[in-house]
Amino acid sequence: MSVTRTVRPETAHAPIASTQIPPVPLTIEGYSVLHQMMRFRWTAWRTLAPAQKTEIVDEAARVLGKMESNASGQSGLYSLIGHKGDLMFVHFRQSFEELNQAELHTAGLRLSDYLEPATSYLSVIELGLYESTIKIYSELAVRGVEAHSEEWNRAIKETLARQKEAMRPRLYPELPKHRYLCFYPMDRRRGEDKNWYTVPIEERARQMNEHGLVGRRYAGEVKQIITGSIGFDDWEWGVDLFADDPLVFKKLIYEMRFDEVSAVYALFGTFYVGLRCASGELGKLLGGQVPKG
């Protein structure tokens, strides 16, 4: 369906058809991210002599300690609550190649003999640029620049470069040290009656802005990191929420269910909640005690 609207910046001379503006919002990406959910072979672990356990824990703690403080992307370990797994590693890295190295380092530990993969999730930290997208697309259309032409691509590249530099702290954050982590994947609905990907970009921008207002009200209580996984994993996005009080996860996610973008278009995957376990607390965790984080 072709819808015509009028854009009136000072330089506008004629109406712009929505069909001239690509529907895909621009995004900028940062760290590559891997979540590894593991089950721990407690039965086999209990058969080991105390000296063997100490050696295994010491080796794993040394490696994990280096990964926690890695300047180009950190790792963290979490003790999962419930039946979905026992441990979860979260890795932030500069590239998929570095993620693969982190995965191999973990697999090379003697501790890995007692770990069984439950599932994993691969994604990249992503910021969607709805407002900037509409602005630059409209400006280019007003100037008569053909979509995806050389001039168009150059302007888009410059816009993305500026935005990425401005948003660098959000694209390449330190792994938050909060006590609790809640991770879940999600999709946008693509059904016959409601399909997020057929909604005009301006309407999607409005709904996402309202959605973001809810999250900003919790800014002092929770740290949120959104990752994109289209083409990388089974869902479209991953969401990490970090907080010192797990009740904030329930309150935030419940409140967000009532805004339009979630109520109409959101589909949610499996939720994982865990407690942070610093490398120095690994022995306590594998001894059956709750780590201090």
CATH number of the domain residue 84 falls in: 3.30.70.1030
Give 175's DSSP letter. P
What's the one-letter identity of residue 250? K
List the one residue out of 259, 118, 114 whose CA is nearest residue 183: 118
Q: Which domain holds residue 75?
A: 30-124
pLDDT score for 213: 84
Q: Give the single-character DSSP code of 215.
A: H
Q: Which among 184, 218, 265, 272 is annotated as catalytic?
A: 184
User: Residue 39: enclosing H or E segment and its boundaries?
Assistant: strand 26-40
Looking at the domain assignment, is residue 185 inside a domain? Answer: no
87 lies in some domain: yes
pTM of the model: 0.89
Q: What is the pLDDT of residue 3?
A: 37
- Residue 16 contacts residue 147 (beta carbons within 8 Å): no
- Closest by Cα among 8, 34, 77 to 227: 34
Element (H, E) at 270: none
Asked whether residue 139 is assigned to any structural domain, the reply reads: no
Q: Is residue 111 part of a domain?
A: yes
What total number of domains does the chain contain?
Answer: 1
134 in a domain, yes or no?
A: no
Residue 103: predicted pLDDT: 97
Other beta carbons within 10 angstroms of residue 157's beta carbon come to 10
From CA 283, how far away is CA 172, in angstroms rounded? 30
Q: Which value, in Å, is the radius of gyration of the alpha carbons in the chain?
A: 22
Answer yes or no: is 56 within a domain.
Answer: yes
**Tokens linked to 290:** 């709750």
Do 163 and 169 meet the contact criterion of CB atoms below 8 Å apart?
no
**Is residue 38 situated within a structural domain?**
yes
Q: 44-49: long-range contacts (C-beta < 8 A, 24 or more apart)? A: 44/113, 44/114, 45/114, 45/286
Q: What's residue 284's pLDDT? A: 95
Is 137 catalytic? The answer is no
Q: What is the pLDDT of residue 16?
A: 42
In a domain, 75, yes or no: yes
Tens-digit pLDDT string for the chain (293 aa) = 333 333 333 333 343 444 467 899 999 999 999 999 999 999 999 999 999 999 999 999 999 999 999 999 999 999 999 999 999 999 999 999 999 999 999 999 999 999 999 999 999 999 999 999 999 999 999 999 999 999 999 999 999 999 999 999 999 999 999 999 999 999 998 887 899 999 999 999 999 998 888 888 888 899 999 999 999 999 999 999 999 999 999 999 999 989 899 999 999 999 999 999 999 999 999 998 888 76
What is the token pair recorded at 13?
A: 């001379």
